[in-house]
Structure 1
């Protein structure tokens, strides 16, 4: 039973980590477009506000992330406002984008090394299984 649980955990972790890696990499690139030679965060924000394909008024507040967001509902809860600010890399007037970027880098490193270690574990298990299945050489 424990071996099946371990295998289930390994495969679910391996498959979901691919999606997590994609989310972390694309999130970092959206937060820091200069990493791929795109306009700086402020320039992208102005372009969105001036009426890009996403439409005016859907971008987040001035000086924040250039990622377009859904229109805000009036009178939102303070919890929702706090969550939105965290997502944008700020708490009140405190700029914590560096911490969000650092967390994204940590997720990328942990996920990539987890994928690597999972693949090595699977390969080692396959080699052990092949060794057990192959007949032992006869000795005289």
Structure 2
């Protein structure tokens, strides 16, 4: 049971670092104003303008098209994929739920950060207990 608990602790600690990075970067991509960038809509429009200025349908020297690819869900792909994409963008149909996505990201950041902190404290307490057991008790005479 102890090995299982240690395995769970270490896998959780290592994977939580990746989860923390994903939550923070996702929140920053969703709300670029947090780092002083333009709003998400403005960034999207600027990227579209750059792609249009570059020329849709142009070919490079190798003959490959440089036109932006359209997502499959918008070409009549599965409705599940379209639903997943909308959730990722913070909307369900015409309903804007970006605030809920942001709240979930902040909650994940808090839970992950406190989980890492508590895991490190658990590891440190275990190390202290082990050192205490290894240290011989002083003899009283």
TM-score if structure 2 supplies the norm length?
0.85
| Range 38-47 or range 112-121, more displaced | 38-47
Runs of 4+ aligned structure 1 residues displaced above 4 Å come to none
1:48 Cα shift? Answer: 1.1
Supply the distance in 2 between the matched residues of 1:115 and 1:130 (Cα, whole angstroms).
23
Tell me which residue corresponds to 1:71. Answer: 70
User: What are the superposed Cα offsets for residues 82-118 of structure 1, whole Å, 9 maximum, x if unpaired?
Assistant: 1010000000000000000000000000000000000
Aligned Cα RMSD in Å? 1.8
1:96 aligns with 2:88: no
SS in 1 for 2:83: helix
Q: Decide which structure has the larger Cα Rg and report it.
A: 2
Unaligned runs of 5+ residues in structure 1 are 58-69
The 3 A distance-change label for structure 1 pair 56 and 13 is farther
Structure with more helix by fraction: 2
1:40 Cα shift? Answer: 1.1
The 3 A distance-change label for structure 1 pair 56 and 127 is farther
Tell me which residue corresponds to 2:115. Answer: 114
Aligned length: 126
Please give the residue correspondences for 1:3-42 in structure 2 after superposition, counting only pairs within 5 Å. 3-42=2-41
The 3 A distance-change label for structure 1 pair 113 and 130 is same
TM-score if structure 1 supplies the norm length?
0.85
